[in-house]
Amino acid sequence: MDKRGVIKMTEDQQRFEEIIVNIDELIEEAINIIPENLVSKAKSYWYAHIMCAINDDHEFLGGSMHHMQDCLDEWMEQEDEDEDDYIASNRLPNEGPINDEDWDMDAGRPARMRDEDWG
């Protein structure tokens, strides 16, 4: 995730998203070139199955329990969680829990600061 809160996609994720779009475009092209008398039957079978397997953006009542867009969304969330885990386990120097050397317990302030600078 970048500074704006936008999840960055990997190259493979971008390609997977392109494949989803390509399948959608190709299936629309296919339904538009078959003879009109076959459209109804196609929409009842192969066209409906393919469209429902891509995402929820279709004209049908049903859908897939896990379509391609779901897969991409989960993949992106997983990548974001992996990045958060990496950051949490690989802290920068001077980041993380304060130890006794960093904190003046009696003064209640960071040890490197003077009383007049604190507060």
Summarised one tens digit per residue, pLDDT across range 33-44 is 999 999 999 998
pLDDT in tens, 15-31: 999 999 999 999 999 99
Biggest distance spanned by C-alpha atoms of the chain: 87
Please tell me which residue, 9 or 32, carries the higher pLDDT value: 32
Q: Is the pLDDT of residue 99 over 80?
A: no
Q: What percent of the chain has pLDDT over 90?
A: 34
């929820």: which residue's tokens? 56
pLDDT of residue 64: 65
pLDDT of residue 89: 61
pTM of the model as a whole:
0.59
* Other Cβ atoms closer than 10 A to 67: 19
d(CA 37, CA 49): 19
Closest by Cα among 36, 30, 35 to 48: 30
């317990």: which residue's tokens? 105
